[in-house]
Every structure is written in structure tokens, then in C-alpha cells.
Amino acid sequence: AQRVTQPEKLLSVFKGAPVELKCNYSYSGSPELFWYVQYSRQRLQLLLRHISRESIKGFTADLNKGETSFHLKKPFAQEEDSAMYYCALSRGAQKLVFGQGTRLTINP
Amino acid sequence: DVKVTQSSRYLVKRTGEKVFLECVQDMDHENMFWYRQDPGLGLRLIYFSYDVKMKEKGDIPEGYSVSREKKERFSLILESASTNQTSMYLCASSPAWEDTQYFGPGTRLTVL
């Protein structure tokens, strides 16, 4: 069965410190993975997808098929990065399965 | 810019009431989805639709139904609301053959 696991419900780091939000998945096929973000009082929106191989707002995510992971990283956290982050896996037919979410707090 | 709107931001209903949640998208997307968002559980798919009058069950369809009479509108119906349906409900849409979904602002439903 397709599953996405985000082991950390809460993550707190200081401004300027590196950030890593963990995401592990289980999927038998070739996965397509996404990170979505929800800032306070805003709608859920796409942050990045692995096939784009791009950096958005300083965030990157590398798909590691051996470890079945898609961790989200940023070298220097900023206060505006505080948000709820969801990792998601495409399970075919345009359907997504989401992880439980990680609430990231950046302390000044 | 894709716009997905939901009829209410906050809704309070009583147990046993029939509840309608409306979602409209203005980008001519074929696919539409209804999720509920609960702390610690993430987003769970309730129902989805690939086209007008088409609907498919998601992971947690029990207690819900949907209607898609027009391409731009996808309604979620709680036939008889119960307290365990208190949640944040998110609507999303996407173009055909596209995995990226665009979300509405959500409706926070409280069932008393």
C-alpha cells in the first residue's frame, strides 16, 4: 500500500540554522513526490516536486530511492519559513496520499 | 492564477443535520477532490471526480456523498452530520493528467 510517513509532528529550529524535514514513503512503482506548505491563515500550496529538481524559497528535496526518502532541506532557516509542511506521493490517476504533516517553527 | 473557492470559512451545525459544502474552481480543471484535514492525521481523501457526473470514493467516504453537476462545482454532502465529522474540509482541483493540486481556503466545520 502507498504510504507517506513524516516522523516529526513538530520541529523547532533557530533562525539561520539548517532545517531538515523528514519524509519516508512506501510505493512499489516509480514515485512522484511533492512538498506542500501551509502558512498561517493561508491555503495549502505546492512548494516543490521532485521531478522539477528546482529550489523554491531556498528549499530543496532529493529523492533517495534506496532509503525511500524525500527529505526537505534548507541551509539557513528564516522566520517566514514557519508553517505546516506536508509530504505527498502520487499514487496514480492524479491522486495524492499525504503524510501526517510537520509543523515547523523558526525561533528568532 | 488558479482560484478555488469554498462557500464558507466556518460552519456550525447540529448532529443529524444535512450539510452541504460547496467548492468552485475557475480554471476549467477536470479533476476535483475533497479532503478532510485533522491534526496528526494529515489530509485524507474523501471523494474525487474526474469529470462532470463522475465520482469515485477516496479513502474515507463513509458518511459522505458528493455531487458534480457542472465542471466547475463539486459539492460535499454530509447526509446526517455527526460529531466525529467535525474537521477542516479542503477542496482541490487539478487539470487532467496533472498531479499538482490547487487548494481552496478550507471550511472549518463544527458539529455540535
List, for residues B66-80, the tens digit of each pLDDT value: 999 999 999 999 999
What average pLDDT does the structure give for chain A?
93
Phi, psi of B52, deg, nearest 5: -55, 135
Residue A71 carries which DSSP code?
Answer: -
For residues A44 and A92, give the distance between their C-alpha atoms in angstroms, rounded to a whole number: 21
> Closest partner residue to A86 among B43, B45, B99, by Cβ?
B43
What percent of chain A clears pLDDT 90, i.e. is strictly above it?
A: 76
Q: What is the DSSP string of B61-72?
A: -TTEEEEEEETT
Task: Give yes or no for residue A22 having a pLDDT over 80.
Answer: yes
The number of residues making up chain A comes to 108
Band (pLDDT 50/70/90 cuts) for residue B20 is very high
pLDDT-based confidence at residue A29 (cuts at 50, 70, 90) = confident
Of B58, B98, B104, the CB nearest to A94: B98
Map residue B8 onto helix, strand or coil.
Answer: coil
pLDDT tens across A32-81, in order? Answer: 999 999 999 999 999 999 877 788 899 999 899 899 999 999 999 999 99
Among residues B29, B24, B22, the alpha carbon closest in space to that of B4 is found at B24
pLDDT exceeds 70 at position B2:
no
List B36's β-bridge partners, or say none.
B44, B89
Chain B partners of A95 at a C-beta cutoff of 8 Å?
33, 45, 48, 58
* A71 and A22 Cβ atoms separated by less than 8 Å: yes
Distance (Å) of CA B29 to CA A79, B43, B88, B102 = 35, 21, 23, 10
State the number of CA atoms in the 13 A half-sphere of A40 facing the CB.
6
pLDDT class for B1, splitting at 50, 70, 90? low
Contacts of A46 (CB under 8 A, 6+ apart): A34, A35, A36, B100, B101
Average pLDDT, chain B: 95
A66: DSSP letter: T
| Side-chain-facing half-sphere of A91: CA atoms under 13 Å | 16
CB contact under 8 A, A100 and B101: no
